[in-house]
Amino acid sequence: MPGDVIASGDFRYGSYIEKRGDQYVALRLGLAEVSSDGIRLNPLTGPYLPRVEDQVVGKVIDAPGFGWVVDINSCFTGYLPASFVFGRDFSPATHDLSTKFVVGDIMGARIESFERARDPQLSIRGPGLGKITSGVIIKMSPTRVPRLIGKRGYMVNMVSSLTNCDLKVGQNGVVVVAGPEEGVAKVAQVISMIENEAQGADLTRNVQDFLGGGEQVGSQA
Amino acid sequence: MEAKRRLIDDNGLRLDGRKWNELRPIKMEVGNLKNADGSAYIEFGKNKIVAAVYGPREVHPKHEVIADRALVRARYHMAPFSVDERKNPAPSRREIKISKVIKEALEPAIIVTDYPRTAIEVFVEILQSDGGSRCAGIDAASLALADAGINMRDMVVGVSAGIIDDQVVLDLDDSEDKEGSGDMPVAFLPNLNQVTLLQVDGIYTREKFQKAFELAIEGGRRVYEMQRKALNDKFFGGAPQVVAAEGGEA
């Protein structure tokens, strides 16, 4: 909980932790892990704050002329410059922004740069990024996204194969699910399960049992 | 002229049967409002208060943006039905003042520099009022901030102490507040031992001031334990928290 001393001594420490003297103090409500490698705090609640290289799912909310303003489910709006899409020779006189994205379009994007004084800049260069044309949008808590992805993508791949759905998971807590209606409904239930039981130890097994994929249990740690 | 009634009887008990250093019954719940980013409900004696936190989110109007940190706003509001006679729902002078002191009591706990150019908005809605509502509002707002996942240095705890029948007591209710001779709302950060709100009304000797202040801090520590329990109940299902530690003291 905020203000709690997690450990004292000499450790490496990650986000949401502050060092006061030789004590490491939590700044958020979450689960702390202390090991010889360092201290980590996995927050259980909180807003999405962009970090460079994060993959996000966003919605175009404006196209003011030289790029697109994208809602990335954060207190900061993303900006995708038109030159990242049309190339360096972009000119508003010769290129029409609406040929690529219009207001309301959904896209998968990567946070290209973010500094405190400016809104995050997005890029759609990379595999699986760009306009998303089909699927259902499901929102979840950004702090639970790592549990949906799982170790090396284990959980998301398992959910995807057991429901025959394609999942695009944004680290901002927006998930686009495309596939059969029944599968989409199951994914929505799995996401709600992950949100409610994120701190549980048997989450992967519970999700497998729920999706009826018991025989596919692997050696996930 | 009507004789002033006694607020403490011969057995040392107050009008509601409490001892001088006793808190009123307290109930706290976290996360009751789905549409808020963080919320809490508190019953502090007969006070019933809902606190909601929205943000960090875009600042409107834009000219209020602070380039290097978040703007914290707080609104303390009493519902028209929260007191015996209907209260005008428009913000009164008192509510504007209390909104300001709540904001100033919470802001030192929030790491505002983590959220530049944004607004963090705290709403404290008094559904039923019975004295000490600003302190109870601070307790609820602090829980709502933690529920919203906003980076905080510490929780914030508020409790009042005061003087009735020439004796220092903890946690005054409405009648004690009105008929007593002094009220001292205190808010502080329990781990950092820093005071973020100290208001005093009435005349205190140096000794009584010291005693009232220490009593409020001591009562606040009990409230802090209840805040922890409320958060624990919501996020950990009441299970004890275990921190695995290797290579250091946890």
pLDDT in tens, A167-185: 999 999 999 999 999 989 9
**Total domains in the fold of chain B:** 1
Q: What is the pLDDT of residues B30-44, one digit of tens each?
A: 999 999 999 999 999
Lowest mean pLDDT among A85-89, B128-132, B151-155: A85-89
In the block, residue with structure tokens 């959904």: A106
- CA dist A132 and A55 (Å) reads 14
Write down the mean pLDDT value for chain A.
88
Q: Which domains does chain A have, with CATH numbers?
A: 5-43 (no CATH), 55-132 (2.40.50.140), 136-215 (3.30.1370.10)
pLDDT for B3 equals: 66
In the block, residue with structure tokens 């005693």: B211
Q: Residue B123: in which H helix or E strand, if any?
A: strand B118-128
- Nearest C-alpha in A relative to B154: A3
- CA dist A58 and A69 (Å) reads 10
**Residue B247 predicted with pLDDT over 60:** no
In a domain, B247, yes or no: no
In the block, residue with structure tokens 């600003």: B134
pLDDT band, very low/low/confident/very high, at A37 (cuts 50, 70, 90): confident
Provide the 3-class DSSP secondary structure of residue A73: coil
ipTM, two decimals? 0.87
**Residue A106 predicted with pLDDT over 90:** yes
Report chain A's C-alpha Rg in angstroms.
20
Contact B232, A30 (CB under 8 A): no
In a domain, B57, yes or no: yes
Write down the mean pLDDT value for chain B.
92
- Looking at residue B250, what DSSP letter applies? -
**Residue B244 predicted with pLDDT over 50:** no
What residue numbers bound the domain in which B73 lies? 26-236
CATH number of the domain that residue B195 is part of: 3.30.230.70
167-186 of B, contacting A, C-beta below 8 A: none
DSSP-derived secondary structure for B127-157? EE--S-HHHHHHHHHHHHHHHHT--BSS--E
Share of chain B above pLDDT 90, in %: 87
Q: Do A7 and B189 touch (CB under 8 A)?
A: no
Chain A CB within 8 Å of residue B19 CB = no
Q: Name, in order, each residue with C-beta under 8 angstroms of A83's C-beta and a sequence gap of 6 or more.
A: A66, A67, A90
pLDDT for B78 equals: 97
Q: Do B152 and A27 touch (CB under 8 A)?
A: yes
Q: Do A2 and B154 touch (CB under 8 A)?
A: yes
In a domain, B6, yes or no: no
Lowest mean pLDDT among B76-85, B186-195, B227-236: B227-236
**How many degrees, rounded to 5, is the angle at CA B158 between CA B155 and CA B164?**
160
pLDDT for B239 equals: 55
**Residue B150 predicted with pLDDT over 80:** yes
- CA dist A189 and A183 (Å) reads 10
Chain A CB within 8 Å of residue B147 CB = yes
pLDDT for A221 equals: 35
The total number of residues written for chain B in this structure: 250
In a domain, B19, yes or no: no
pLDDT band, very low/low/confident/very high, at B249 (cuts 50, 70, 90): very low
pLDDT band, very low/low/confident/very high, at B1 (cuts 50, 70, 90): low
**Residue B248 predicted with pLDDT over 50:** no
Q: What is the pLDDT of residues A47-80, one digit of tens each?
A: 999 999 999 999 999 998 899 999 999 999 999 9
pLDDT for B190 equals: 96
Range B88-92 average pLDDT: 96
